[in-house]
Chains A and B, each alone.
Chain A
């Protein structure tokens, strides 16, 4: 079951947000809820993302034009981290213990060089 909330609940939960502002973010595709305008459903990840955008805008005073740049870089960063995680899972599942130990040694060696 996917838990999702309405725009109103989202605005309350994410810390006193103006629904009009959030709708503008949706229009700019900074947040991508499901459903049509007026019947948006926000999942937990969307709520967390809205909260992040609010913090970028209000607390960190990011310019409206800077927000999509930051979001795009963050999305790329998280995509890379997801892939690394998948790769680690695949190694964990398939590599014999000897290989995993050796891999650990090599990686420790690399981070020492760094």
Chain B
């Protein structure tokens, strides 16, 4: 293989000065020195060509003979050089550790255990904690309020009974110790981490430990008062609506929210009335037409500019 033209290799003109040749070589060598490019195989070939060209052109005598055509660029490569990188990556390389001499190098094992979270047991055999496994369990709104036990079927076919405590929040995670991946080398199994998703309810809303309910009532029930049946997560209860109630009137059913659990007292259910007129008849329409209220009332006061 014909050697490259040394002027081209260094990227200089044929009439370049020694200083220009030196500068060109220095620039290329900085970029291609194999020890500064340990991962780059072609760098070594490139560097050999560059130093060969430099050896030839930096020697005025050799350069003149080359220019006269007495010698060619072949055979100008430096003798086989064992670069530092050849040793630095072997075991010997550990002698030149980064940092203060004598300071212990961070051990590979430390790095690996950081990555894999593994620990070593006695006798040097690897004992690994099983993996934690993550699952999502959707629970019914009422199960989250009252508490219940749900069966979760895992991808591997195993069934897992998950005790859902009353008052669990959406997004909360339950940890079932030892129900995750099996341990390795006698290590303990991992845990199953179950993220709880609470399905919304048709008419209840959760507010911490309390339940909010928008309860439709008739005009007559609101104006005259009534005893009506109200749904709660713990079954229907009878509640008295005071006379003169209105849309937005809030009533409390004590202890009808999230069930008591541990030291936590039970929450309450808050019922917000919503007057619904419904279908009317001639009698109501006639009454309202003739009705002259004692106090004029504008529910939109302050909303509409006069």
Contact = CB atoms under 8 A, between A and B. Distances in A.
B86 interface: yes
Interface stretch (A77-85, A97-105, A106-114): A77-85
Interface string A27-46: 00100100000000001110
Given A44-B82, A51-B84, A52-B84, A79 B92 contact: no
Contact of B108 (A52, A72, A76, A86): A86
A95 interface: no
A85 B89 CA distance: 8
A86 B81 CA distance: 26
Contacts of B39: 81
Contact of B95 (A45, A71, A74, A77): A45
A32 B81 contact: no
Contacts of B25: 59
Contacts of B90: 45, 82
B98 A45 contact: no
Contacts of B96: 32, 45, 49, 71, 75, 78
A80 B128 CA distance: 26
B65 interface: no
A32 B87 contact: no
Contacts of B163: none
Looking at chain A's contact residues, is the secondary structure mostly helix, strand, loop, or mixed? Answer: helix
B109 to A, nearest CB: 10
B98 A49 contact: no
Interface stretch (B26-34, B133-141, B259-267, B279-287): B26-34
Which among B39, B96, B99, B108 has the greatest number of chain A C-beta atoms within 10 A? B96
Contact of A45 (B36, B88, B112): B88
Contact of B101 (A29, A44, A48): A29
Contacts of B82: 44, 47-48
A60 B87 contact: no
Nearest to B78: A15
Nearest to B25: A59
Range class of the B interface residue count: 20 to 34
A52 B35 contact: yes
Contacts of B97: 75, 79
B283 to A, nearest CB: 76
Range class of the A interface residue count: 20 to 34
Contact of A78 (B81, B93, B99): B93
Contacts of B36: 74
B92 A55 contact: no
A100 to B, nearest CB: 17
A32 B94 CA distance: 12
B29 A74 contact: no
Contact of A77 (B29, B38, B86): B38
Nearest to A76: B98
A12 interface: no
A49 B87 CA distance: 9
Contacts of A60: 26, 29-30, 33
Which among B26, B98, B99 has the greatest number of chain A C-beta atoms within 10 A? B98
Contacts of A44: 82, 87, 92
Contacts of B81: 51
22 contacts: A32-B96, A43-B92, A44-B82, A45-B95, A48-B83, A48-B87, A51-B81, A52-B35, A60-B29, A60-B30, A61-B26, A71-B96, A74-B35, A74-B36, A75-B96, A75-B98, A75-B99, A78-B93, A81-B39, A82-B88, A83-B111, A87-B112
Given A29-B101, A47-B82, 9 more contacts: A44-B92, A45-B88, A60-B26, A74-B35, A78-B89, A79-B94, A82-B88, A85-B89, A87-B112
Task: Give the top 8 A-B pairs by smallest Cβ distance, nearest first.
Answer: A45-B87, A78-B88, A76-B98, A75-B98, A48-B84, A52-B84, A45-B92, A52-B35
